Amino acid sequence: MPLRYMRATIGLCWSINRGTIQLQQIHSYMAELYRLSQRSNINVYNYPENCRREVEDRRIILFDDHRTILDVLYFAMQEGHFNGEVPSIISFDYHDDSVGLSSEVRQRANSLRKSCSVKRNDEKIWQFVEFSLGGMDDDWVRAGMELGLIKHYIGFGHHCSANNIDQGFEQYRSLDEVMHHLYSNGHLDGELGNRGVIGDESYGWQQKRNDLLDDIQYHHRHFDEGDIKPFVLDIDLDCFSTDCFDHTIAWPEAIFIERYQNPKVSSFIHFLINRASLITICRETGCCGGVGEANRILELLDYFWFDGALKTQRIV
């Protein structure tokens, strides 16, 4: 066999074998993530093969309290899910969950980051998340940065009265001297529009816009090709709730369709779903108007975004 053909054959075999190894690693990570379903307050769903995806198997992690996401992130990182990198969070939430931490909590998180990165200890992380963070689930973002679990936080759907991020964009330096970005934005339809931070090329605060586009890898009205920086697509169901006569209720389906199912927004959402390393959903029923209203929102997301992967029943 001529040498050039031998080289080509060897290269092809290496490419196939390397692809097989990478695929085996992906399935191994997914299998490990499924073990989270053995914990209380956490359910794990597989994103089906027939869905609109660009990557292999993906898990959707569903839980009640938003700070639980830190337990999930630590578990996933320890299992090698993000290839040794710290993921960013792209979140849809009514609140920004970015309340500042006391110096004591920051120091405790920093100490945990050092000890638990050397020797795995899921229980210590769980104890910190459960008992050291606020019961209002409003401070997990900065805590995750101090723990070394979150790189940047990009939030959409924030209500102005719930804003703890200074003027909607903040640079936050954790105690390990890592600089993080925090963004607070309105609903995606507005931010993709002519006056929004993503859609308006003449947006008044160019540093915020440029950094945000870099952090979500979106330029010239398209997502960047090539390597995707790891990120978690995070959804708090209360993002799609509203107040009516002193009651909190789920968005009517017509409103959801108008704001999130128009072609521009729907396309953007499905690109995020397809590119995400992991998807997390927080029920947060107390902020949705109760279990029934939270279930209505979950059903809308399952039907329009996840093609029934969450096994919900249509509510009419």
Entry pTM: 0.87
Q: What is the mean pLDDT of residues 71-75?
A: 96
| CA dist., res. 268 & res. 192, Å (int) | 9
- The reply to whether 46 falls in a domain is yes
- The reply to whether 22 falls in a domain is no
- The reply to whether 255 falls in a domain is yes
| CA dist., res. 124 & res. 126, Å (int) | 5
Range of the domain at 282: 36-304
| CA dist., res. 170 & res. 208, Å (int) | 9
- The reply to whether 240 falls in a domain is yes
> What is the per-residue pLDDT across 257-276, written as a single tens digit (0 to 9) for each?
999 999 999 999 999 999 99
Residue 24 has pLDDT above 60, yes or no: no
Could you write out the three-class secondary structure of 178-218? Answer: CEEEEEECCCHHHHCCCCCCCCCCCCCCHHHHHHHHHHHCE
Q: Tokens 């924030």 appear where?
A: 158
- Work out how many domains the chain is built from and give that number: 1
- The reply to whether 172 falls in a domain is yes
Give residue 48's pLDDT band: very low, low, confident or very high (50, 70, 90): low
> What is the per-residue pLDDT across 262-315, written as a single tens digit (0 to 9) for each?
999 999 999 999 999 999 999 999 999 999 999 999 999 999 999 999 989 877
Query: What pLDDT is attached to residue 281?
Result: 98
| φ, ψ for residue 304, nearest 5 deg | -90, -30
Query: At CA 88, angle to CA 278 and CA 156, rounded to 5?
Result: 90
- The reply to whether 3 falls in a domain is no
> What is the per-residue pLDDT across 115-154, written as a single tens digit (0 to 9) for each?
998 899 999 999 999 999 999 999 999 999 999 999 999 9
